[in-house]
Amino acid sequence: MQSKKISNILYRWLNDLSIRNKLILVYVICMFIPLILTDSVVFGLLEYYEQREEEYRMRSAADSVRYLVNSSFDEAVTAINKIYLDEDVYKFLDQTFESDYDFYEKRFRFNEKKIKPLDGGRESVLSSIILCSDNAGIVNGGNFYNLKDIKYISWEDLQASKSSIVVFFYYPKDEINNSSQKKKVAVIRMLDHYSWYHRNMMVYVDLDFSVLQRKMKAMTFEYSIYLCEGDRILLSSPLQKSINMDYETLGDDVNIGLEVPWNVYGRNLRIIVSGNESNFKKIFKDHAVIIILLIMLNLLAPIVVIRFMNKSFAMRLYRISRAFDEADIDNNQGINEENAGNDEIGLLIRGYNRMVERQSTLIRTNYTARLERQEMELARQTAELSALHSQINPHFLFNMLENIRMRSVIKSEKETASMIEKLATLIRQNVSWSTDDSTIEDEISFIKSYLELQKYRFGEKLKFEISVRDDCKDFLVPKLTLVTFVENACIHGMEGKTAACYIYVRVYRNEESLVMEIEDTGSGMLDEEVMYLNDKMNNCTLEDVKKGSHVGMLNACLRLRMSTDLTARFGLESEKGVGTYITITVPADRLKKYDDKSDVGR
């Protein structure tokens, strides 16, 4: 009971709100607030999962770089360890050389036995193996250097290193006998395996920096990756400007997406992956299911609010709509103003009721006058059709009587009875105008009787052929439609024609249309007259018929157009001395069709 009371209070409050305020209320409750909340959740989740996926791809790229560098170092360490365990190397570096010549001679023999040229193929990163000792007899060059002459590697740092193998990235600006300064990477190990040798000795392998860069480029990373020692960039993708320049420094413009610390052979390195901006289009596509679920969840709040809104204005609008649908001349009731409210819809209901009262008064005043005008218009159209009919009947009657008169003059009266019998048939078929329509079958019967009478006049000079499809016989057309065109072909087409004249009448269906064709091989017409008649037949009016020119054809055209809502189309083709061809095309759905022909004017 208490909940019903609260609901009624809420309904009354909503009824007094303007529609604008209602829409604002719906927008805030059902769209704005849920939109903010759901978007926050969606973007938060998407950002979280995107960051995790991005981190995974970055770590995979960092692992690839680490594997590349590690495998290069391992190749160098393998070469170093062979020398590290060879005591002959220790003996050579520890012996005393009497002169430079003595050193060169012994180094030559030693190199042939122990130090072979590095030939690991195009993809090998090993450049050269260098043996170093503090033996004063060693002359710098080839694969041997005196420790005191190596500036870029500190023996003290090497001894202090906790790792037996150390890696150095350096740029040898002061290297002895170095014709071109290039970035270099050295893997170094102290030669201390045999403790009875007291000289300071070490071996290091220079790696080919250009090969490392080339392998880095071949990996085609999705991100920009930097292998750094501190802020010094040792290797990078994209590639550094030149291997002939000193190592570059990491700038502030690099967006650090992931940093992986890496301690390798005594060096604290770090792999930095530069992250990309999140691709939200891809995120939405990958998380479409979550988004759809959230949208469906957002629909619950609007449904609750719309339930109240429906009773506030939607139901009242429905009452107004139903009142409009049920309103007619005899039953035009107003709308019950109970709980109409004071908002715009309530004003509309009261305005509708005032309109109904005024409309009822106007209907009572104007309805009778409108019916009278319609009846007058109908009577005028009926009178016009009657006038057309009165023009047509005498026209044919006079032509028939003229035929009888001419035949009676030429021959004896033996055939007069037959002619009068056919004339009587024509008159019986068409003297009654209780209906303006006749079937195609009746029209064809009339045409046959008419042409048989004409043969009394023209004899063998007149020949005709009639073809009617069975599915066309029951269509209704205005009386004397086809016979008017046949009469025109017979009378005007045969005048001045000495040879035999053929008349063809064809009626058939062409898709959705009924087609009637009247063709003769008579005298034909000039092009100017053909153009004139084509225009008049398709656009004739009652005024054209009243002028008296081509009254029969235009009368038939006008009546057929009026009975088919102006959809009947006429085509006239003619050539002087050859003949005339008339086509009448009418949409079949515009013609009536009777199965019981007893109702047709017979």
Q: Are residues 399 and 484 in the same domain?
A: yes
Return the pLDDT at 430: 59
Query: Residue 17 above 60 pLDDT?
Result: yes
Residue corresponding to tokens 């060096």: 267
Closest Cα partner for 78 from 225, 189, 201? 189
Per-residue buried b or exposed e for 110-130, using 16+ beta carbons within 10 Å of the residue's own CB: bbeebbeebeeeeeebbbbbb
Query: Residue 520 above 50 pLDDT?
Result: yes
Closest Cα partner for 295 from 591, 568, 42, 19? 42
Distance separating alpha carbons of residues 328 and 331, to the nearest angstrom: 5
Q: How is residue 304 written in tokens?
A: 């609750």
Q: What is the pLDDT of residues 329-384, one digit of tens each?
A: 555 667 766 666 777 777 777 777 777 777 777 766 776 667 666 666 665 566 55
Query: Residue 284 above 90 pLDDT?
Result: no
Q: Are residues 29 and 151 in the same domain?
A: yes
Tally Cβ neighbours within 10 Å of residue 143: 16
Least confident of 167-176, 446-455, 555-564: 167-176
Q: For residue 585, what is the DSSP state?
A: E
Q: Are residues 314 and 401 in the same domain?
A: no
| pLDDT tier at 509, thresholds 50, 70, 90 | very high
Q: Are residues 59 and 201 in the same domain?
A: yes
As separate numbers, helices (DSSP H) first and strands (DSSP E) second, the chain gives: 18, 16
DSSP string, 207-257: E-HHHHHHHHHHT--SSEEEEEETTEEEEEESPPS-TTSPPPB--TT--EE
Return the pLDDT at 600: 46
Query: Residue 71 above 50 pLDDT?
Result: yes
Q: Which of 23-32, 98-107, 417-426 has the highest mean pLDDT?
A: 98-107
**What percent of the chain is helix, strand and coil (3-state, nearest 5)?**
55, 20, 25
Does a structural domain hold residue 130?
yes
Distance separating alpha carbons of residues 61 and 230, to the nearest angstrom: 20
Does a structural domain hold residue 299?
yes
Q: What is the pLDDT of residues 322-344, one digit of tens each?
A: 777 776 655 566 776 666 677 77
Q: Are residues 219 and 70 in the same domain?
A: yes
Return the pLDDT at 241: 66
Return the pLDDT at 598: 45
Q: What is the pLDDT of residues 228-247, one digit of tens each?
A: 988 888 888 877 767 777 78
Distance separating alpha carbons of residues 166 and 156, to the nearest angstrom: 13
Backbone angles phi, psi at 568, to 5 degrees: -70, 135
Q: Are residues 316 and 458 in the same domain?
A: no
| Three-state SS at 385 | helix
| pLDDT tier at 258, thresholds 50, 70, 90 | confident
Q: Are residues 303 and 417 in the same domain?
A: no
Contact of 466 with 518, CB cutoff 8 Å? no
Q: Are strands 144-146 and 126-133 parallel, antiparallel or unpaired?
A: parallel
Q: Are residues 315 and 438 in the same domain?
A: no
Q: For residue 460, what is the DSSP state?
A: G
Distance separating alpha carbons of residues 575 and 521, to the nearest angstrom: 10
Domain holding 581: CATH number? 3.30.565.10
| Three-state SS at 512 | coil
Q: For residue 546, what is the DSSP state?
A: H
Does a structural domain hold residue 343?
no
Closest Cα partner for 503 from 458, 451, 459? 451
Q: Are residues 300 and 182 in the same domain?
A: yes
Q: Are strands 569-575 and 513-520 parallel, antiparallel or unpaired?
A: unpaired
| Three-state SS at 599 | helix
Closest Cα partner for 341 from 13, 6, 5, 10? 13
What is the average pLDDT value for the chain, to the nearest integer? 78
Domain range holding 198? 9-277+288-326
| pLDDT tier at 126, thresholds 50, 70, 90 | confident
Its pTM stands at: 0.43
| Three-state SS at 323 | helix
Does a structural domain hold residue 368?
no
Q: Which of 162-176, 251-265, 501-515 has the highest mean pLDDT?
A: 501-515
Using left for φ > 0, alpha for ψ between -120 and 50, and beta otherwise, residue 548 falls in left
Q: What is the pLDDT of residues 78-93, one digit of tens each?
A: 888 988 998 999 999 9
Least confident of 5-9, 52-56, 433-437: 433-437
Does a structural domain hold residue 207?
yes
Q: Are residues 176 and 264 in the same domain?
A: yes
Q: Are residues 322 and 397 in the same domain?
A: no
Per-residue buried b or exposed e for 322-345, using 16+ beta carbons within 10 Å of the residue's own CB: ebeeeeeeeeeebbeeeebbebeb
- What share of the chain in percent tops pLDDT 70? 74
Residues in Cβ contact with 287 at an 8 Å cutoff, skipping those fewer than 6 apart: 42, 45, 46, 49
Closest Cα partner for 382 from 435, 330, 430, 346? 435
Does a structural domain hold residue 367?
no
What number is the average pLDDT over the span 446-474? 87
Least confident of 56-65, 80-89, 272-281: 272-281
Distance separating alpha carbons of residues 90 and 106, to the nearest angstrom: 14
Distance separating alpha carbons of residues 190 and 321, to the nearest angstrom: 100
Contact of 584 with 570, CB cutoff 8 Å? yes
Q: Are residues 312 and 410 in the same domain?
A: no
Return the pLDDT at 508: 95
| Three-state SS at 588 | helix
- Cα-based angle 467, 471, 473 (whole degrees, multiple of 5): 65
Distance separating alpha carbons of residues 167 and 263, to the nearest angstrom: 10
- Looking at the structure of the chain, the number of domains it has is 2
| pLDDT tier at 19, thresholds 50, 70, 90 | low
Return the pLDDT at 30: 76
Does a structural domain hold residue 364?
no
Does a structural domain hold residue 356?
no
